[in-house]
Amino acid sequence: MPSERASFAERRTRAAAKLRERDFGALLLSPGADLFYLAGYQIFASERLTCLVLDRDGTATIVCPAFEAPRAAVASPELARATWEETDDPYAMVASLVRSSGTVAVADQMWAAFVLGLQQALPRRAFAVASEITRGLRMRKDAAEVEALRLVSESADRAYARILERPFAGRTEREIGVDLAELLRSEGHEEVGFTIVASGANGASPHHDTGDRRIAEGDTVVLDFGGAMRGYRSDITRTVHVGKSGGSEEQKVHDVVRRAQDAGYAAARKGASAESVDGASRRVIDEAGYGRFFIHRTGHGIGLDGHEHPYLVRGNREILEPGMTFSIEPGIYLPGRFGVRIEDIAVIDNDGSARPLNRADHAFATVS
Ligand code: ZN
Ligand code: ZN
Ligand code: ZN
């Protein structure tokens, strides 16, 4: 799509300007979200070096194995390519393309082996992480990115609505996780990232490893799942109970978490700090007497990465702006008993308020 290609070129122009502003020499991006953001090239990481070299003079070249050149050409037709054969030195090739002096910024998730190889090929250069250049760009989503996040969030919402119709009691967490993965795909996800199914006391561990526990009547179950469509990621959590009614404390804790999330939404607006959203959610849980059981930050940015800037955590004074997208996900975790978390993805709209991209019902749903 020509419009999409134009936006990649425009992003590279802005990244090059940022390199000049910081007096950096070049940006070196191995496979990952920054590479996709600036070139539209999505490829798995492997031991063969693929690297976008963006010099601060604006020239961009993809260094890749020769046999992968056709694939790079389809993804990023307008970019120059430098290809290496199996016996060539790809690091020397990258170094020869870094023409400007100054610090070299490498992808935050670049493998250590590549970083060490590049440091040898570019001696006497200072190295930094690419997010110093890319985070300011990637944090503010354009309209097409917000739309992609809305579509993937709504796909996750539909998967959630459908899992409520399936039986829980008598089945294992793993079986529910397999169902969730299948539902995400059937609702349009191209990739399933994770399916956390944390039942009963397992719910007190926020990142519980979905396992063989058999779910029983009376259980509270935390469902946290997501994946990707067109590169953009979903991440939603709802907490349900199995059987006629949730226990009275379970219902009470769920109400507190809901109010904490509402307070987070109210605080999340243009001009507010990231930490103020965390503070607003945390205050509700503190005042209800559960403060020491809310054991993680309130949220994280989301886009091409499942977790990215801005992080909604105490100490982060970053100011929220239109186009920023992040989770608001307070939780209460009672060791040995149960946990409750509610998570949506929200966007700061042009009018300055936070709009949920997830629309799935927030109630403490009953499953059978
Ligand atoms: Zn998490
Ligand atoms: Zn999540
Ligand atoms: Zn999350």
Query: What phi and psi values does residue 9 have, to the nearest 5 degrees?
Result: -60, -40
Say which ligand is closest to the CA of 300.
Answer: 3
CA of 87 to the centre of ligand 2 (A): 43
Q: What's the CA-to-centroid distance between 106 and ligand 2, angstroms?
A: 28
In this structure, what token pair is assigned to residue 15? Answer: 């990244």
Let me know the angle formed at the C-alpha of 139 by 135 and 140, rounded to the nearest 5 degrees: 130
Query: Any long-range contacts for 62-65 (C-beta under 8 Å, 24+ apart)?
Result: 63/90, 63/93, 63/94, 63/97
Q: Among 118, 137, 156, which residue terminates a domain?
A: 137
Number of domains making up the chain = 2
Cα–Cα distances (Å) from 128 to 36, 125, 359, in that order, read: 20, 10, 39
95, 122, 137 - which closes a domain: 137
The model's pLDDT over 16-45, given as tens digits with 9 standing for 90+, comes to: 999 999 999 999 999 999 999 999 999 989
Closest to 189 (Cα-Cα) out of 144, 233, 228: 228
Q: Are residues 71 and 210 in the same domain?
A: no
Q: How far apart are CA 326 and CA 300, in angstroms?
A: 5
Q: Quick one: 196 and 208 in the same domain? A: yes
* CA 351 / ligand 2 centre spacing (Å): 26
* pLDDT (0 to 100) of residue 3: 62
Q: With cut-offs at 50, 70 and 90, classify the pLDDT of residue 246.
A: low
Q: Say how many Å lie between the CA of residue 207 and the centre of ligand 1.
A: 6
Q: How far is the CA of 204 from the centre of ligand 3 (A)?
A: 16
Q: Give the domain CATH number at 346.
A: 3.90.230.10
In the predicted model, what is the mean pLDDT of the chain? 96
Ligand 2 center–CA 158 separation, angstroms: 16
Render pLDDT for 253-280 as a digit per residue (tens, 0 to 9): 999 999 999 999 999 999 999 999 999 9
CA of 91 to the centre of ligand 3 (A): 36
Same domain, 235 and 123: no
Last residue of a domain, one of 104, 137, 170: 137
What is the distance in A from the centroid of ligand 3 to the CA of 362?
16
User: Tokens for 269?
Assistant: 């607006």
Distance (angstroms) between ligand 3 centre and the Cα of 265 equals: 15
Q: Which one-letter amino acid corresponds to residue 295?
A: I
Residues shown for the chain: 368
Asked if 119 and 166 sit in the same domain, the reply is no
pLDDT average, residue stretch 236-249: 89
Say if residue 2's pLDDT is above 50: no
- Say which ligand is closest to the CA of 194: 2
Between the CA of 278 and the centroid of ligand 1 the distance, in Å, is 15
State the Cα–Cα distance between residues 361 and 197, nearest whole angstrom.
18
Are 160 and 49 found together in one domain? Answer: no
Residue 131 and residue 148 in one domain:
no
56 touches 20 (CB < 8 A): yes
Total-model pTM: 0.94
- Looking at the structure, tell me whether residues 129 and 154 fall in a common domain: no
Collapsed DSSP state (helix, strand, coil) of residue 294: coil
Q: How confident is the model at residue 245 (pLDDT cuts 50, 70, 90)?
A: confident
Residue 1 pLDDT more than 60?
no
CA of 98 to the centre of ligand 3 (A): 37
Q: What's the rounded mean pLDDT across residues 235-256?
A: 92
Ligand 2: distance of its center to the CA of 239 in Å? 12
Query: How close is the Cα of 236 to the center of ligand 1, in Å?
Result: 10
41-45 CB contacts, 8 Å cutoff, 24+ apart:
41/72, 41/75, 41/76, 42/75, 42/231, 43/68, 43/71, 43/72, 43/75, 45/111
| Nearest ligand, CA 326 | 3
Query: Would you give the distance in Å from CA 103 to the centre of its chain?
Result: 27
253 is in which domain, residue-wise?
A: 140-367
Report the C-alpha gap between 173 and 214 in whole angstroms: 7
Whether 90 has a pLDDT exceeding 90, the answer reads yes
pLDDT of 305 strictly over 50 = yes
What is the β-pairing status of strands 127-129 and 103-106?
parallel
DSSP character string of 286-326: HHTT-GGG--S-SEEE-SSSSSEEEEE-TT--PBP-TT-EE
Of the pLDDT bands very low, low, confident and very high (cuts 50, 70, 90), residue 5 is: confident
| Secondary structure class of 42 (helix, strand, coil) | coil
pLDDT digits (tens, 9 = 90+) for 54-70: 999 999 999 999 999 99
pLDDT exceeds 50 at position 208: yes
Q: Which residues surround ligand 2, an ion (CB under 5 A)?
A: 224, 235, 237, 343
CATH number at 114 reads: 3.40.350.10
Segment 173-177 shows an average pLDDT of 98
Distance 70 CA to ligand 3 centre (A): 36
Model pLDDT for residues 103-136, shown as the tens digit of each residue: 999 999 999 999 999 999 999 999 999 999 999 9
Residue with tokens 């989301």, as numbered in its chain: 302
In the sheet that 24-29 helps form, which strands lie side by side, from edge to edge?
80-84, 60-65, 51-55, 24-29, 103-106, 127-129
The CA 28 to ligand 2 mean position distance, Å, reads 30
Q: Looking at the structure, do residues 218 and 323 belong to the same domain, yes or no? A: yes
The rounded Å distance from CA 130 to ligand 2 centre is: 25
Spatial separation of the C-alpha atoms in residues 289 and 291, rounded to whole Å = 6
Based on the fold, state whether residues 305 and 187 are members of the same structural domain.
Answer: yes
pLDDT bin (cut points 50, 70, 90) of residue 303 is very high
**101-115, 162-176, 232-246, 297-311: which has the minimum mean pLDDT?**
232-246
Q: Are 225 and 156 in contact (CB under 8 A)?
A: yes
Q: Are residues 226 and 302 in the same domain?
A: yes
The helix/strand/coil state of 338 is: strand
